[in-house]
Structure 1
Amino acid sequence: MSRFNNKLAIVTGGNSGIGYATAKELIAEGAKVIITGRRKEAIEKAAEELKAISFVADQGNLENIEALRNEIQSQYGKIDILFINAGITGILGSIENMDSKNFDNVMNINFRGAYFTLSNLIPLLNDGASVVFLSSNVATTYKPNSSVYQASKAALNSIAKTAAAELAPRKIRVNMVSPGPTKTEIMTKAGLDTETLNGINEWLINEIPLKKMGSAEDVAKAVVYLSDNNIASFMTGTEILIDGGMIL
């Protein structure tokens, strides 16, 4: 028997990258998985490939989050695994030159949206459920030109730990996975051209002790590990770094 048989999992931002890879792993282990995303065509295509259930929702839109909650409550019941994954890097730039619209957009999706996704779905979590936030190793680094993204992930870690304390009486575990440089589409979505991306990737690989980029599957396996009550039942408020030693 697969370890997540008869379990319901929610993966936000599940149409590509880490979200897609995690949904795939959860389904392979027997879970029924609902994936969300902003783009209808992309999320429906991913759901078809994965044999998942699609729901069009923008994590930065509170009405969408409430609609997701209502749909889960009326159609599917209680949640066993919640992976709050959706996020953006936004536009890189110095604090001096930061655009307020970019600040608001990053914080709205990465922090506010993640916060209220959890807030809205807590009543639907089974006792003993697992919640995992996708954070980043940048939450504890302070590199120039990445202040907003770094701050959004640091804030996310703070609420994850508070949630772990609040939900412990219900045996609900709340943890974080924090990847370093990972081969996904997120930097392309940030509007960087191929030449710039290649230059960034080369620089990053030189900064990583293991001299390679991570994969979406690396992160997905960590999420699945944390979601398994048989092997991670004593882990809550924990951050797993998956960065090839970059934080050293």
Structure 2
Amino acid sequence: MNHVLRASGWRLALVTSGVLLALGGRMHPEADAADSATQELATMTADERWVPGHTLILASTVLLAAGLWLVLRGRVWPRRVDGTLRIAAVTISLYVVETVFHLAASVDSDELAAGESAPIAWAHLGLSAFLYPASGLALAYLGASLFAAWRGPRRLLALPGIVAGTAHALSVPATILLPDAELSPVFAGAALTLALWSVLLGLASAPYRRPVVAVPAPEAASQH
């Protein structure tokens, strides 16, 4: 069993990450572009779906980071992508911090609605302004590197990563630059595409190999 986990742990992490992200993303409350950013966040964090949905998203992000580190450690993908894979693993690990504050922003729901100080919620927004673009660009870069490194049909697996990473990177800056636009579909599309990519990577980004089990050497014949 331990040999199977060592050989396929990265697959389990990536596939589970994708499934949890798809489930959590579907639970995300919708925003109203007519409201201010503070009012939108107050409404969404007060929604009963915020905590369970973002708990799933947090778990998904932790598993994605773990899966990328396991891929790097196991040298699963072509060595030429090790550099971009390491960058993606580091930035997604940092992005985990944002997802923690994202989830915890619900504790400031009443303060947001009253227009009072909301340190956790504002920390979430501050971190997202940096870590959404950073993690999204890192994933898009990883997807482009895999596309260049792989050959044959497997190259197609890299394309959702480029799309998901780009959409993820642009989502938060777009809300800042276009405060009156309805951008919920951008967030939802980025999450769904990233979930799909994570599952595809776990299932088909490397050949399946039977784990090698070490066989103990036979004991030396006893001397007579």
Higher helix content, 1 or 2: 2
Bigger relative contact order (CA 8 A; separation at least 6): 2
Q: Same fold (TM over 0.5)?
A: no
With the length of structure 1 as denominator, give the TM-score of the two structures. 0.27
With the length of structure 2 as denominator, give the TM-score of the two structures. 0.29
Higher strand content, 1 or 2: 1
Structure number with greater Rg is: 2
